[in-house]
Amino acid sequence: MAKPAPAKIDTLVTVTSRDYLPGTWVMLHSFLQAHPDFDGDIAVLADDLADKDKYQLSVSFERIGFSEPSEKLARSIADLTRSVPKLQGRARRFFSLEAFNPARAGNVLFCDSDLLFRSGIDAMLAMDGAIIACGDRAQLIGSGRDQSSLAELDGSETRTPVRDGFATFNAGLMLIRPELRTPENWAALLGHLDHKVWGEIATQHTDQAVYNKMFGRQVTLAGASHNYLVGHGSALRNAAIAPMSEAKVLHFNGPAKPWHFGRHLDAATADASYVRAFQDWYSAYTRFLTSHHFVANTGSDIS
């Protein structure tokens, strides 16, 4: 029997800021290298990029566009962070909700800017479902989360992958099909950015908490190798999750980003696998710089 064809990605959506640009460069370049047939648009959500930043991204990546959050989303984020001050420093994380805006057409792939694509994710893109993502740490190690507060459970009741049809997932890589981006779901997502709703949430997650509360009963889970959580590498190894060597995508979740050198010693001290993960990212970074040089100077990537 022939394998299902992967979904065509119409738009890749990401969120960035000036201090995240190195991650965005590497994520986009590694994605395109792993998916050479991609001919969709790239939508970058940001509110602090200079014209030069946008120009440099446009040199390397065709069909790229830049925008800030829509008025409704921006207003909802402002109201929430004003009422919940601890979220003010993480307000940009909610920009990802724009990937669910019903004004977008076709299939959307949302990618955090701290991803590194080692290989293609066609198997994930071929899965059925309105939203495809990979489990978060609690889901993967079997503890699970409370459906209302999203507080992590102790896992003593059951270690089945999905509890009562509810699964929690990491929001760093999501395939979002058009049937999920309805005006009703958009309104409900914005409704979750209410300080009264937020008072129930017992996790440090931001946009991810919104998606899990909204779509925890609709998500189809892809294998963990499609979004390997480097920041939880030790926990994943203890739970016998697929090793990092098999990861198609590395996700540098947590504070130890490859471009934040001050975080590296603590990260590598706690988990030696960071050394290999950083090495892979720097190799990809070098490939991006080489490609950018040739495109900027010759108009084509002959690297």
Give 237-267 pLDDT, tens digit per residue.
877 787 899 999 999 999 999 999 999 999 9
Q: Is residue 82 part of a domain?
A: yes
Beta-strand relationship, 115-117 and 249-251: antiparallel
Q: Is residue 286 part of a domain?
A: no
Is residue 122 pLDDT above 60, yes or no?
A: yes
Whether this model's pTM surpasses 0.85:
yes
pLDDT mean across residues, the chain: 93
Q: In the chain, what are the helix, strand and coil shares in percent, each to the nearest 5?
A: 45, 15, 40
Closest CA to 228 of 82, 112, 127, 101: 112
Q: Please tell me the total count of domains within the chain.
A: 1
State both tokens at 85. 């001050």
Which pLDDT belongs to residue 160?
47
Is residue 23 pLDDT above 80, yes or no?
A: yes
Question: Residue 29 sits in which domain range?
Answer: 11-227
Q: Is residue 301 part of a domain?
A: no
Q: Model confidence over 146-176: pLDDT tens digits?
A: 888 898 887 655 444 455 689 999 999 999 9
Which pLDDT belongs to residue 24?
98
3-state secondary structure of 272: coil
Q: Is residue 217 part of a domain?
A: yes
Q: Lowest-pLDDT range, 133-147, 182-196, 249-263, 280-294?
A: 133-147
Task: Give the start-end residues of each E strand in 203-258.
Answer: 220-222, 228-229, 249-251
- Any idea what the CATH number is for the domain that residue 35 is in? 3.90.550.10
State both tokens at 42. 């790239």
Could you tell me where the DSSP H helices lie in the chain?
Answer: 21-34, 51-60, 71-83, 122-125, 137-141, 183-191, 195-198, 207-215, 233-238, 264-270, 273-298
Mean pLDDT to the nearest integer, 181-185: 97
